[in-house]
Amino acid sequence: MTLFSAGDISVRRLNNNAYDKEKLLEWLTNEELLALAYGEDAPWDMQKLEAAFMHKADDGEDVTACLIELDCEPIGYIQYYPLEHDSYKFTADIPYGKFSGGYGVDIFIGLPTLWGHGLGTRTVHAMTEYLFDKMNATVVCADPEKNNRRSVKCWEKAGFEKMGIIENYDDPDKLSILMANFKLL
């Protein structure tokens, strides 16, 4: 099911089928991608992928998992979820209350040959508009790893502002930057 299209990019729900699983596994076994994201869980195999991702393909899950397509060909993964107290490692300086009514988003472009072409920025921008317009989000947040300059730049180009440093959700030895885009009223 396609959620939205923006020119040659579309975002559709992840399907719990062999094709979508094989695409995800192909991306999650790419060393270039793992150096930037999901590397803490490597090595990936089908069993680990199914446990980590495929339940998100079901209706009724808090996390909505999607594939990004370029001209109808899968090129990456994006997910969104309503923000809760435990969605990020909120701090006294960055309290959850400021982000209540928002959504969190995670993304990766799975094909390194497509990095640096603005596809992530275009997808994040379109996803943000979708969440504002269709899901009534008041804010959309992301938490790229502090040292992942490529990801931080993508979020900034899509209109996100740095809110502060937080503990990385998946790896407590790393830091992330909480970034947000607030809906203009």
Q: What is the DSSP string of 129-170?
A: HHHHHHS--SEEEE--BTT-HHHHHHHHHTT-EEEEEEE-SS
Comparing 75-84, 88-97, 135-144, 150-159, which segment has the lowest mean pLDDT?
88-97
pLDDT reading at 1 higher than 90: no
This prediction's pTM: 0.95
Residue ranges per structural domain of the chain: 2-182
CATH number of 2-182: 3.40.630.30
Burial code (b: 16+ CB inside 10 Å, e: under 16) for 111-141 equals: beeebeeebbbbbbbbbbbbbbeeeebbbbb
Tens digits of residue pLDDT in 159-184: 999 999 999 888 888 899 999 999 98
Please provide the average confidence, as pLDDT, over all residues in the chain. 94
Using 50, 70 and 90 to split pLDDT, how confident is the model at 74?
very high
pLDDT of residue 95: 92
- Continuous H helices in the chain: 18-28, 31-34, 46-53, 119-134, 149-157
Strands 139-142 and 103-109, by their bridges, are parallel
Condensed to tens digits (0 to 9), the pLDDT of residues 103-161 reads 999 999 999 999 999 999 999 999 999 999 999 999 999 999 999 999 999 999 999 99
